[in-house]
């Protein structure tokens, strides 16, 4: 009887040791790693209302797939494209960080030829030298791509792929998508009408 | 369960306390060998200082002195041309073996008492390896051990991160014992190496059977014991220093150890450090593979009458670089990195260690008291360990300077063991062990922690008894463990979750040993073992290394194309059973005049084996990633390993070992990844007696075969293509695959030379002498780069 009580006592002490000693939760961390939302803001140069199209990954590193809005643009219009990058789970805006670290980041674009008059061709994802109209630049005078210029064609449909590469110490005037690691890689369906 | 407690407590209280009276009936016997050749030394003079009685050793090196009255004596060994050895002996210790050193060599004579080989049980004998063999050539990493001990391999993340695999199991399925204590670290990740420098140990013992009954959970595949340097009483000051340089990585290593024994005290200190820059394959540099490691350790032994008290403290500090080109983003990046002719980001040679890298500090302090009461031996051990692990990944901007994993694991252990004298023909021991873990995430990582915080408290109670019948020994062991775990974590939106868990298990082992004659022995052991599902396997969530993983309670799988991770499950919604192993190992051992050999064959069935398997692809803003889920299955592991040592002539020895492992998922009919291939290692050692110097030459040949019995290969490009074509490759969720085919077999040749003069010894060694290009199947860097090319090591040793 004594031994049985002793046994229960030992078990109780053990449980107490585990549960009372340390109730600390892991610290609250702002998730700055994961990008959940990317907005493409097409702002017409004539000053009319900007068009915003989003890509959203509801669960970050969870298994749920991305949702991307279909992009619809007016024909024969000049746009400036602004890109905004966020983590919506934790409400962190990462755009500014990318701008500040511009010397190690660069956006690349790939698109169907018939969508745009400017830039010509299919973009610089397959070949770095191909034309993309970058408006912003980093401290070394190299493009970043948070702001770019576009002129739509008379009409058509196709896709636009946006790739953000993280190229610490390796970003140069010729470094393409085969250099660095991928921070963003999104494909949108586009209609110009 | 209660009954077991009663038995042990009764055993403790009902001890018949019989104090040993001073009777002149004690006998000391032992064996004297040459330290270099291991040959027996005849005609060595052995004298007991207290009584001034003496004998000489016989032709086999044996001696025996009877009718001694004292409990403790000093033995003095002298022999022409050899250094004198003085040994303090008390009769609680086992029969000593005296290794005497010739006057012209740098080594000092040593005494090995049977007690050092306390690992294992009567029918689970450890295989012993002397570290001095490795130290000779100034390179003492785990790979050196793996070459010398059959059945032991290494899972690598490049050269710097080495984790032992024993009989196909690693991490939390084998147990490492350092300073007599369970070494507790973040054992769950394949890229988490233990901070143990084998060079700071005196010897390593490997127990290849299930060691759970004696050592507790996790000792499923076996136990690796790193014995600290022996401390002896009445020992003059001994100082050893070694300096080494290696050409590959332009590395420098140093080691110093000192010890001295007094009447009742013995003290030991040691320290070592190692630094190198980027390593090199035959064709290219491996950028960011530099390393900085240092260790310090100290020990104090106090001995008086019936009591030994031993204190140890050590600190190991690692800063390990990981190949820059091995870190990738999404599947496109992975395909690109694996296809690269030379690793991406390859740059000029540098000592700088940038991201990706790991910083690990491990502190360990232990105190052990041994009390001899008649023929009873009581051991009480307490230890404290602190493992601080920071992993730095390649991250955007200022986060690159912050660790993405920052964990602090504190462990306390308390062990009590009682060895009783022979009672009704039974020999045995019983004990109680308690362990407490406190694992916390430290703030400031700017990413949701992969693991929750948790605490474990575990109590184990065991008893092992054996009985001899002539040349046969039977053994039976039982153990009960209970563990309480409290978990506190955060979901990706920072909402907290909690759980309290209880795990328990009863394990048993059954052994039999037969000494067929004085040369041939057979032993067999059937042992059960267990471990509870690790917190990382239950709750791990997100990206760790290059892949996204979800723990067992972080996903729901309805068998459809996608899984759901929106809720956190628990033991009632998804029961997860303990891993339980049944290992049957058989050993045949021959010790002849010229040859020794050992053959081990084993079958190991593990129920509820937990492993990660690819389940699908998730598209994120970064592109497509494969994701892995933890699952349970039944695993069968079987294999054979053999060691042979043959004395060709007085000065030439051939040693050889080979091991083969076969592992299969018998529930879903798959092969596992990272099971070592068949490998054979041979060493030819020769001593040349020169006019002034003795030279030792060692030639090592290792051949690793191409791994067979591997899972299907699916390259990242094939995954991307299947995804683009709308025919995903993961519709069958029972599949295991590997990203790349197993690398071809390869031969490695090492050649070493050592000579000693007075107190100095100099060695030169060439590793991978043929400068072969090869990739190791159990190296995670093999997807991106080859292994290291030729390396010259020069080491100078001075002993005071």
Candidate from A132-146, B26-40, B424-438 with smallest mean pLDDT:
B26-40
Q: Looking at residues B193-219, what average pLDDT do you find?
A: 90
C-alpha distances (whole Å) from B86 to each of A67, B48, B51, B114, B263 are: 79, 10, 15, 17, 13
Pick the closest to residue B696 from B142, B102, B97 (CA basis): B102
Which residue's entry shows tokens 């200190």? B269
pLDDT > 60? residue B10: no
pLDDT > 50? residue B385: yes
pLDDT > 60? residue B13: no
**Per-residue pLDDT, B18:** 35
State how many domains chain B has: 2
Q: Looking at residues B409-433, what average pLDDT do you find?
A: 94
C-alpha distances (whole Å) from B584 to each of A25, B125, B605, B636 are: 42, 14, 9, 12
Contact residues on chain B for A26, CB-CB shorter than 8 A = 440-441, 449, 452-453, 488-490
pLDDT tens digits, residue range B603-614? 999 999 999 888
pLDDT > 70? residue A6: no
Q: How far apart are CA B428 and CA B479, in angstroms?
A: 14
Q: Is A106 on the interface with B (CB under 8 A)?
A: no
| Sequence-ordered list of residues with C-beta below 8 angstroms from that of B3, at least 6 positions apart, any chain | none
**Per-residue pLDDT, A23:** 67
Query: Is A15 a domain residue?
Result: no
Query: Is A71 a domain residue?
Result: yes
pLDDT tens digits, residue range B117-143? 467 788 888 888 888 877 777 677 888
| B234 and B89 within one domain | no
Pick the closest to residue B475 from B773, B214, B722, B155 (CA basis): B214
The C-alpha of A46 sits at a distance from chain B's nearest C-alpha, in angstroms, of 31
**Per-residue pLDDT, B19:** 36
Which residue's entry shows tokens 């049944």? B582
The C-alpha of B455 sits at a distance from chain A's nearest C-alpha, in angstroms, of 6
Of A105, A178, A184, nearest to B336 by CB-CB distance is: A178
CATH of the domain at B383: 2.40.170.20
Q: Is the pLDDT higher at B327 or at B226?
A: B226
Query: Is B206 a domain residue?
Result: no
Joined tokens for residue B406: 């920052």
Q: Is A178 on the interface with B (CB under 8 A)?
A: yes
Q: Looking at residues B67-94, what average pLDDT do you find?
A: 81
Of B328, B396, B548, nearest to A101 by CB-CB distance is: B396
The pLDDT confidence band at residue B16, using thresholds 50, 70 and 90, is very low
Query: Is B615 a domain residue?
Result: yes
Query: Is A25 a domain residue?
Result: no
pLDDT tens digits, residue range B241-262? 999 999 999 999 999 999 998 8
A62 to chain B: closest CA residue: B565
Count of CA atoms in the C-beta half-sphere (13 A) of B502: 6
First CA to last CA distance, chain A: 88
Query: Domain span at residue B78?
Result: 18-117
Joined tokens for residue A123: 């973009």
**Per-residue pLDDT, B6:** 41
Say if the Cβ atoms of B484 and A15 lie within 8 Å.
yes
Q: How far apart are CA B374 and CA B20, in angstroms?
A: 5
Say if the Cβ atoms of B445 and A29 lie within 8 Å.
yes
Category of B171 on φ-ψ map: left (φ > 0), alpha (ψ -120 to 50) or beta: left
Q: How far apart are CA B751 and CA B683, in angstroms?
A: 10
Joined tokens for residue B260: 């001295």
The pLDDT confidence band at residue B94, using thresholds 50, 70 and 90, is low
Query: Is B159 a domain residue?
Result: no
Candidate from A76-80, B104-108, B525-529, B724-728 with smallest mean pLDDT:
B104-108
Joined tokens for residue A162: 């946006």
Peptide bond into B506 cis (omega under 30): no
B333 to chain A: closest CA residue: A181
Identify the bridge partners of residue B510 per DSSP, sorted by sequence position: B476, B526
pLDDT > 70? residue A115: yes
State how many domains chain A has: 1
Residue ranges of A 63-102 with Cβ closer than 8 A to chain B: 63-66, 89-90, 94, 97-98, 100-101
Identify the bridge partners of residue B788 per DSSP, sorted by sequence position: none
The C-alpha of B621 sits at a distance from chain A's nearest C-alpha, in angstroms, of 5
Say if the Cβ atoms of B438 and A23 lie within 8 Å.
no
Contact residues on chain B for A27, CB-CB shorter than 8 A = 441-444
Joined tokens for residue B691: 């006019």
Of B404, B488, B621, nearest to A184 by CB-CB distance is: B621
Joined tokens for residue B570: 């628990």
pTM of the predicted structure, to 2 decimals: 0.87
What is the DSSP pairing of strand B110-113 with strand B181-182? unpaired
How deeply is B691 buried, as exposed, middle or buried, from its count of CB atoms within 10 A (0-12, 13-18, 19+)? exposed
**Per-residue pLDDT, B302:** 93
Maximum Cα interatomic distance, chain A, rounded to a whole number of Å: 93
Return the SS3 of A6.
Answer: helix
Say if the Cβ atoms of B455 and A18 lie within 8 Å.
yes
Instruction: List the single best residue of A1, A28, A33, A138 to mutate versus B (max B Cβ within 10 A).
Output: A33
Share of chain B above pLDDT 70, in %: 94
Say if the Cβ atoms of B621 and A26 lie within 8 Å.
no
Total residue count of chain B as it appears in this document: 800
The DSSP line for A97-161 is: HHHHTGGGEEEEEEE-GGGEEES-TTBSSS-TTS--EE--B-TTS-B--SEEEEEE-SSEEEEEE
Say if the Cβ atoms of A32 and B394 lie within 8 Å.
no
- Of B117, B133, B164, which residue sits at a domain end? B117
Question: Do the Cβ atoms of B600 and B151 come closer than 8 Å?
Answer: yes
Pick the closest to residue B654 from B615, B618, B697 (CA basis): B697
Say if the Cβ atoms of A29 and B333 lie within 8 Å.
no
Query: Is B631 a domain residue?
Result: yes
Q: Is A125 on the interface with B (CB under 8 A)?
A: no
Return the SS3 of B354.
Answer: coil
Of B542, B555, B621, nearest to A55 by CB-CB distance is: B621
Q: How far apart are CA B44 and CA B33, in angstroms?
A: 10
| Sequence-ordered list of residues with C-beta below 8 angstroms from that of B737, at least 6 positions apart, any chain | B614, B711, B712, B713, B714
| B256 and B382 within one domain | yes
Q: Is A47 on the interface with B (CB under 8 A)?
A: no
The C-alpha of A14 sits at a distance from chain B's nearest C-alpha, in angstroms, of 6
pLDDT > 60? residue B597: yes
Q: Looking at residues B625-629, what average pLDDT do you find?
A: 86
Which residue's entry shows tokens 């019983």? B430
| Sequence-ordered list of residues with C-beta below 8 angstroms from that of A27, at least 6 positions apart, any chain | B441, B442, B443, B444
Query: Is A30 a domain residue?
Result: no
Of A21, A24, A186, nearest to B621 by CB-CB distance is: A186
Helix B716-724 / helix B331-339 crossing angle, nearest 10 deg: 140
Peptide bond into A186 cis (omega under 30): no
Of A25, A63, A104, nearest to B490 by CB-CB distance is: A25
C-alpha distances (whole Å) from B471 to each of B522, B601, B777 are: 11, 22, 43
Contact residues on chain A for B562, CB-CB shorter than 8 A = 63-65
pLDDT tens digits, residue range B549-569? 999 999 998 777 778 888 999
pLDDT, chain B, mean: 88
Query: Is B192 a domain residue?
Result: no
pLDDT > 80? residue A189: yes
| B108 and B232 within one domain | no
CATH of the domain at B60: 2.60.40.1120
Say if the Cβ atoms of B449 and A17 lie within 8 Å.
no
The C-alpha of A135 sits at a distance from chain B's nearest C-alpha, in angstroms, of 22
How deeply is B476 buried, as exposed, middle or buried, from its count of CB atoms within 10 A (0-12, 13-18, 19+)? middle
Which residue's entry shows tokens 């022979």? B422
Joined tokens for residue B252: 């420098």
Which residue's entry shows tokens 């974590």? B489
- Of B117, B149, B170, which residue sits at a domain end? B117
Say if the Cβ atoms of A30 and B482 lie within 8 Å.
no
**Per-residue pLDDT, B5:** 44
Query: Domain span at residue A167?
Result: 37-192
Query: Is A12 a domain residue?
Result: no
**Per-residue pLDDT, B113:** 62
- Residue B114: phi and psi, rounded to 5, are -50, -30
| B418 and B541 within one domain | yes
Joined tokens for residue B264: 């009742």
Query: Is A106 a domain residue?
Result: yes
**Per-residue pLDDT, A9:** 65
Query: Is A23 a domain residue?
Result: no
What's B737-797 look like in SS3? EECCCCCCCEEEEEEEEEEEECCEEEEEEEECCCCCCCCCCCEHHHHCCCCCCCEEEEEEE
pLDDT > 70? residue A15: no
Identify the bridge partners of residue B130 per DSSP, sorted by sequence position: B203
Query: Is B720 a domain residue?
Result: no
Q: How far apart are CA B144 and CA B153, in angstroms?
A: 10
Query: Is A22 a domain residue?
Result: no
The pLDDT confidence band at residue A16, using thresholds 50, 70 and 90, is low
Instruction: List the single best residue of B341, B620, B720, B724 to mutate versus A (max A Cβ within 10 A).
Output: B620
């Amino acid at each position: 009887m004594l031994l049985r009580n002793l046994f229960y006592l030992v078990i109780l002490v053990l449980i107490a040791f585990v549960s009372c000693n340390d109730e600390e939760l892991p610290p609250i961390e702002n998730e700055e790693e994961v990008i959940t939302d990317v907005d493409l803001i097409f702002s017409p140069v004539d000053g009319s209302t900007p068009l915003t199209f989003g890509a959203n990954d509801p669960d970050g590193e969870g298994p749920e797939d991305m949702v991307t809005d279909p992009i619809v643009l007016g024909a024969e219009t000049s746009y400036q494209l602004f890109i905004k990058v966020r983590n919506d789970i934790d409400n962190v805006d990462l755009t500014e960080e990318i701008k500040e670290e511009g010397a190690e980041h660069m956006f690349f674009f790939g698109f169907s030829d018939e969508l745009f008059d400017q830039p010509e061709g299919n973009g610089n994802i397959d070949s770095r030298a191909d034309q993309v109209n970058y408006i912003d630049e980093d401290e070394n005078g190299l493009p970043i791509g948070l702001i770019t210029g576009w002129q739509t064609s008379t009409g058509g449909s196709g896709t636009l792929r946006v790739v953000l590469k993280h190229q610490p110490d390796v970003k140069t005037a010729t470094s393409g998508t085969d250099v660095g690691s991928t921070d963003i890689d999104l494909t949108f369906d586009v209609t110009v009408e | 369960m209660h009954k077991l407690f009663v038995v042990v407590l009764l055993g403790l209280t009902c001890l018949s306390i019989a104090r040993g009276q001073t009777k002149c009936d004690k006998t000391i016997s032992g064996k004297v060998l040459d330290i270099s050749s291991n040959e027996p030394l005849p005609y060595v003079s052995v004298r007991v200082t207290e009584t001034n009685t003496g004998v000489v050793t016989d032709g086999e090196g044996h001696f025996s002195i009877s009718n001694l009255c004292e409990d403790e004596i000093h033995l003095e060994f002298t022999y022409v041309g050899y250094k004198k050895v003085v040994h303090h002996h008390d009769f609680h210790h086992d029969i000593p073996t005296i290794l005497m050193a010739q006057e012209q060599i740098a080594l000092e004579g040593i005494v090995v008492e049977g007690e050092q080989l306390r690992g294992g049980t009567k029918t689970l004998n450890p295989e012993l390896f002397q570290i001095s063999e490795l130290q000779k050539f100034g390179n003492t990493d785990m790979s050196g051990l793996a070459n010398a001990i059959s059945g032991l391999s290494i899972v690598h993340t490049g050269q710097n991160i080495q984790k032992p695999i024993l009989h196909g199991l690693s991490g939390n399925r084998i147990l490492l014992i350092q300073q007599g204590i369970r070494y507790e670290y973040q054992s769950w990740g394949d890229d988490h190496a233990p901070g143990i420098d084998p060079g700071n140990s005196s010897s390593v013992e490997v127990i290849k059977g299930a060691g759970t009954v004696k050592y507790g959970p996790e000792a499923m595949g076996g136990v690796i014991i790193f014995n600290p340097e022996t401390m002896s009483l009445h020992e003059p000051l001994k100082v050893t220093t070694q300096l080494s340089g290696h050409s590959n990585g332009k590395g420098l290593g140093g080691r110093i150890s000192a010890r001295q024994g007094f009447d009742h005290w013995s003290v030991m200190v040691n320290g070592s450090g190692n630094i190198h820059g980027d390593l090199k394959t035959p064709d290219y540099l491996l950028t960011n593979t530099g390393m900085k490691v240092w260790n310090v350790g100290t020990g104090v032994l106090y001995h008086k009458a019936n009591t030994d008290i031993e204190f140890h403290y050590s600190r190991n500090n690692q800063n390990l670089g990981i190949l820059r080109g091995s870190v990738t983003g999404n599947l496109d990046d992975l395909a690109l990195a694996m296809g690269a002719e030379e690793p991406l980001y390859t740059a000029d040679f540098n000592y700088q260690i940038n991201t990706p890298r790991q910083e690990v500090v491990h502190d360990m302090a232990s105190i052990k008291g041994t009390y001899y009461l008649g023929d009873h031996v009581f051991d009480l051990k307490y230890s404290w360990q602190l493992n601080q692990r920071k992993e730095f990944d390649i991250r955007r901007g200022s986060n690159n300077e912050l660790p993405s994993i920052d964990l602090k694991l504190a462990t306390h252990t308390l062990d009590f063991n009682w060895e009783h004298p022979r009672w009704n023909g039974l020999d045995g021991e019983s004990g109680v062990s308690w362990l407490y873990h406190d694992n916390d995430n430290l703030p400031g990582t700017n990413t949701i922690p992969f693991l929750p915080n948790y605490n474990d408290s575990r109590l184990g109670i065991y008893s092992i008894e054996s009985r001899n019948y002539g040349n046969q020994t039977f053994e039976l062991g039982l153990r009960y463990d209970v563990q309480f775990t409290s978990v506190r974590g955060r979901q990706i939106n920072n909402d907290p979750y909690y759980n309290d868990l209880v795990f328990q298990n009863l394990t048993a082992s059954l052994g039999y040993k037969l000494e067929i004659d004085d040369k041939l022995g057979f032993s067999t052991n059937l042992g059960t073992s267990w471990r509870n599902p690790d917190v990382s396997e239950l709750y791990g969530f997100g990206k760790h290394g290059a892949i996204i993983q979800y723990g067992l309670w972080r996903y729901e799988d309805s068998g459809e194309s996608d899984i759901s991770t929106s809720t956190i499950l628990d033991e009632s919604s998804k029961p997860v059973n303990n891993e339980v192993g049944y290992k049957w190992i058989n050993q045949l051992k021959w010790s002849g005049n010229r040859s020794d050999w050992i053959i081990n064959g084993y079958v190991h069935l593990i129920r509820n084996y937990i492993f990660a398997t690819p389940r699908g692809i998730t598209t994120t803003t970064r592109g497509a990633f494969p994701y892995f889920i933890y699952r349970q299955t039944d695993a069968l592991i079987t294999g054979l390993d053999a060691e042979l040592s043959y004395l060709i002539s007085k000065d030439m020895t051939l040693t050889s070992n080979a091991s083969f492992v076969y592992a299969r998922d018998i529930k879903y009919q798959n092969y596992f990844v990272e099971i070592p291939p068949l490998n054979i290692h041979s060493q030819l050692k020769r001593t040349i007696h020169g006019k002034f110097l003795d030279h030792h030459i060692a030639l090592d040949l290792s051949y690793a075969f191409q791994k067979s019995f591997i899972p299907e290969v699916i390259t990242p490009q094939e995954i991307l293509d299947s995804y683009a074509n709308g025919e995903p490759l993961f519709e069958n969720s029972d599949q295991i695959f590997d990203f790349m085919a197993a690398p071809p077999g390869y031969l490695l040749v090492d050649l070493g030379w050592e000579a000693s003069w007075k107190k100095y010894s100099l060695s030169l060694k060439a590793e991978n002498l043929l400068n072969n290009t090869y990739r190791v199947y159990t190296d995670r860097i093999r997807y991106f780069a080859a292994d290291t090319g030729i390396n010259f090591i020069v080491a100078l040793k001075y002993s005071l």
